[in-house]
Structure 1
């Protein structure tokens, strides 16, 4: 979440840069975008080390593999989005000095995020199929939906900026996967709310209306 928060600021700064009213502030927005992107990149690497040490030093149980682990991929995806938006920014001293570096690093983060998808899917299979932990709705499932959507957006941005048609196509196809995941999770949430929250209230109301015992 540290990395995602920093990269969100970078995306915002790069997006505001195109507004004509903010033309005088473009050098400052460029500085903020590159600064936030760099901090987010450092934080991602640092958290990756912390998570790796935790997995090597503490017994890793199937119950520990909760959906928020997908943020590890989502953080790379929003890093790609921020990097692509910075590469698209108008000429500014800070952008001109780092454009090539950020463009190349964005490809690296896209490749690493793509590589993370199979291990995360296998980890889910290991948790729910191999160890038979029930797969129920929980609010943290949205931690899977966000990375899937952000990966699709980041792939399309990166494909357009670096002229990589295959990456853009992968992002376009994956966006439909993200839409299916969002729809399924949303419907599952509504069913869970109806079954566990709204439906049990009805018998209680009927009991209140029953005549008092003599």
Structure 2
């Protein structure tokens, strides 16, 4: 049985690492170190299992790897790696974080170009993973740039930040807006992409390496993106209240991730521009994210199809 469910893990499983990793970051930023370590440990273990599975499929089952690599959920491999790398950098383990950045940077162009070649109209929320994965590289690059005092990495982060915003607009053109009411969970990535974009902007602002117009543009852009993120968060929350989707689906981890990322984005933006209100908002939203993570774990463990084959990808 263990071998069966292991072989059937879909690319969307990477969203679990993204959700768990960002909750760990939020708990660290708000001072809950013990809890943060628990979430980090879980994220690291699952990331390692998925990484082994990723490589095994590439080597032994290339047709399946290829068929999955052209779907947006494949980009969770990049996003999960960058989220985990960011948390590890906050521990002071910069060499490990740098290695994860290299891994993500190698995966990103391969998976991104493959996914983009297979875009079509009326796609689910996973389409926004093109933005999330790109901004993930921006966040980790900026985090390492600050930690290691490497200005060159800041320019890399700025390039990925700008590209990520462009990819968001492109993804929105292909997004099926009706998913707001009918999506199984990954429709939340529409606002999660804005959240990680705001976090990338906050990291760039916090670096204090920019002056004049560049710094002003970064601050304004970050606040606009965060505002859109919070607006999207409210709209999706209302849609969930009006039309609850109670059945467990692996894509629900793509809901937990935006909840956690919005919390971290608000808190980090507040810290970057010295806005106490945003830091408080980040703390409050973290409570929702942790609660959603716990509820989703319970749903996962009590769902009869958890270890069954042919789960949603």
Q: Shorter-chain-normalised TM-score: which range?
A: 0.7 to 0.9
Could you tell me which of 113, 123, 128 is aligned with 2:239? 123
Match runs of 1:11-160 below 5 Å: 11-20=139-148, 23=149, 26-51=150-175, 54-55=176-177, 60=178, 64-91=182-209, 95-96=210-211, 98-128=214-244, 135-160=246-271
C-alpha RMSD over aligned residues: 2.1
Name the counterpart of 2:273.
162
- Structure 1 residues 106 and 140: alpha-carbon distance in aligned structure 2, compared to 1, 3 A threshold: same
- Structure 1 residues 63 and 76: alpha-carbon distance in aligned structure 2, compared to 1, 3 A threshold: closer
Q: Does 1:175 align with 2:299?
A: no
CA contact (8 A) 1:62 1:126 kept: no
Listed one character per residue, the Cα deviations across residues 53-102 of structure 1 (whole Å, up to 9, x for unaligned) are x54xxxx48874231110011111111111111112252xxx44632211
CA distance in 1, matches of 2:305, 2:132: 32
CA distance in 2, matches of 1:28, 1:153: 25
CA distance in 1, matches of 2:165, 2:225: 9
CA distance in 1, matches of 2:270, 2:306: 44
CA distance in 2, matches of 1:127, 1:61: 12
- Structure 1 residues 111 and 63: alpha-carbon distance in aligned structure 2, compared to 1, 3 A threshold: closer
Q: Report the TM-score, using the length of structure 2 for normalisation.
A: 0.53
- Structure 1 residues 61 and 177: alpha-carbon distance in aligned structure 2, compared to 1, 3 A threshold: closer
- Structure 1 residues 8 and 42: alpha-carbon distance in aligned structure 2, compared to 1, 3 A threshold: same
CA distance in 1, matches of 2:219, 2:267: 14
SS in 2 for 1:46: helix
CA distance in 2, matches of 1:173, 1:78: 18
| Greater C-alpha Rg | 1
CA distance in 1, matches of 2:179, 2:271: 41
Aligned length: 178
CA distance in 2, matches of 1:14, 1:115: 26
CA distance in 2, matches of 1:175, 1:61: 25
Name the counterpart of 2:85.
none
